[in-house]
Amino acid sequence: MAENKQKIAESVLLEPSQLTLETLAPIFHEIHTRPIDWGDLYLQSIQTESWILEDSIIKHASFRHEKGFGLRVIAGEKIGFAYSEAVNLPEIKRTARFVKAIADQGVSVAPKMLDARRVPKEPLYSASHPFQMFAASEKQDVLREVDRVARQEDPRVKQVIASLAGSYEVVLVLGSDGSFACDVRPLVRLNVTVFVEDGDRREQSNVGGGGRYDYSTLLKQDCVSRFSKEAVRQALVNLNAVEAPAGQFPVVLGPGWTGVLLHESVGHGLEGDFIRKGFSAFSNRLGQQVASKYCTIIDDGTLPYRRGSLEVDDEGTLSQSTVLIEKGILKNIMLDKQNAQLMGMKPTGNGRRESYACAPIPRMTNTFMLGGDYAPEEIIQSVKKGLYVANMEGGQVDITSGKFVFTTSEAYLIEQGKITAPVKGATLIGDGPSILKQVSMVGNDLALDPGVGICGKDGQSVPVGVGQPTLKLDAITVGGTAS
């Protein structure tokens, strides 16, 4: 499989421009005429498509193909970076002359010939094209079936929006240390938005999922029926919801997508650039107790077929599983190559970029909390009065302080150990370091999200995964709308 991916990468990225690994190797000799720490060349081809159904008709279809390269040199904290859509040897050489001009410090390390290929032990996903095997008519039929299933679920369904999207990314990374790596990354997603009405009340919900596979695999999981029915169910729940109470009380987070709260409030604070620069609430806290003893949090880019997984990151480093917090102790942080070097540590395979037009920065892959010993029912029964959060929407986080505000999309009252009335308008308010210390019970039902995560940082967006088991927060501030 690894050899197959290399052949694909060379045929897509090099052969059309009469390039080879051998002809590209001298690029780094050009860069090293001035002292730098290292350089890398990132070549990428990405094809994307999307289909959208609205008001029972196909309203939008698009296809896009981009190809280009980004060339980077590192000298201490300085970065020289340039990119181009023209993948050819003269353009790459011209770009090399430009980026090396920033290097007025660094070390005189001679570049090596390409001789150190980096490949994972086992492929995490197929190299097959995710959407070429499906005809346009078949993709449209999928969306029409979503519309049909959702509308027949309940007469209060008034509008359905369904989308089917896929991408096929081929990357090749060459480093001045003699390394080279490639990856072929499929990604698909099905999304369903449903609007329901009852009298003058109108509510909506959004459900979706996918992963690093093709459309046929997505459909084999019965996603059309499951997503459509779940979207209707969530919308109807909110249609009957009462106003959320406000105050500070126990909150139980359900499994799966609610892990987005950990991703935002804790995960970003454990990325190497924020840690190194002192911007994070977790800076200078390695080895310290930062959470309750029930919390073990992992970032793992090696999970097969998951949305946030990578065989190699966008610097050519092998993806890995990193224990960030173990039983409440901060053990590791997420690092790209530059921040690892500046901190005297090793990269963790978290150097990611949105495209060839962006320089890599430390980013999460699949970030989740491990399961504990409690049955979910036990956790709920332990709460006399509180809130059960089944699903989350977006939120805002300040990385320096860790303070966050998150909106729930599906939540219920807990009264005398039982889940009762659904509520709407609830927000969770707190800060990452404090919320981790409030975890007193962790369920045995770890679940990852269905494959919908998109993470934004420094203007770049990348696919990610989140997850967690059911867990209890002893006290957190809840913003509500009940008078």
Query: Of 66-75, 110-119, 331-340, which range is least confident?
Result: 110-119
* Mean pLDDT along residues 75-101: 90
Which residues fall within 8 angstroms of residue 176, CB to CB, at 6 or more apart?
Answer: 28, 31, 32, 36, 38, 39, 40, 109, 111, 112
Contact 79, 106 (CB under 8 A): no
pLDDT bracket for residue 7 (50, 70, 90): very high
Asked if the model's pLDDT at residue 110 lies above 60, the reply is no
Query: Of 32-46, 60-74, 199-213, which range is least confident?
Result: 32-46
Of all residues in the chain, what percent carry a pLDDT higher than 90? 80
* pLDDT at residue 399, rounded to an integer: 77
CATH T-level fold of 2-239: PmbA/TldD fold (3.30.2290)
* pLDDT at residue 305, rounded to an integer: 97
* pLDDT at residue 381, rounded to an integer: 98
Asked if the model's pLDDT at residue 106 lies above 70, the reply is no
* pLDDT at residue 483, rounded to an integer: 56
* pLDDT at residue 34, rounded to an integer: 66
In the 8-state DSSP scheme, what is residue 289? B
Report the C-alpha gap between 290 and 332 in whole angstroms: 12
* pLDDT at residue 44, rounded to an integer: 98
* pLDDT at residue 407, rounded to an integer: 92
Asked if the model's pLDDT at residue 428 lies above 90, the reply is yes
Q: How many CB atoms lie within 10 A of CB 431?
A: 17
* Mean pLDDT along residues 127-145: 95
pLDDT bracket for residue 105 (50, 70, 90): low
Residue 221's region, left for phi above 0, alpha for psi from -120 to 50, else beta, is: alpha
Helix residue spans in 320-413 (DSSP H): 337-343, 376-381
Position of tokens 């989740």?
368
Query: Of 104-118, 404-418, 428-442, which range is least confident?
Result: 104-118
* Mean pLDDT along residues 359-370: 98
Burial of 92 (0-12, 13-18, 19+ CB in 10 A): buried
* Mean pLDDT along residues 21-25: 89
Asked if the model's pLDDT at residue 114 lies above 60, the reply is no
* Mean pLDDT along residues 405-409: 92
- Token pair for residue 166? 């896929």
φ, ψ for residue 342, nearest 5 deg: -65, -25
- Token pair for residue 361? 């920065």
Bridge-based pairing state of the strands 385-397 and 247-253: parallel
* pLDDT at residue 161, rounded to an integer: 98
* Mean pLDDT along residues 296-315: 97
Which residues fall within 8 angstroms of residue 113, CB to CB, at 6 or more apart?
Answer: 25, 178
Contact 274, 409 (CB under 8 A): no
* pLDDT at residue 393, rounded to an integer: 87
Quick: pLDDT tens for 240-261. Answer: 999 999 999 999 999 999 999 9
What residue ranges do the domains of the chain occupy?
A: 2-239, 243-479
Residue 391's region, left for phi above 0, alpha for psi from -120 to 50, else beta, is: beta
pLDDT bracket for residue 444 (50, 70, 90): very high
* pLDDT at residue 403, rounded to an integer: 86
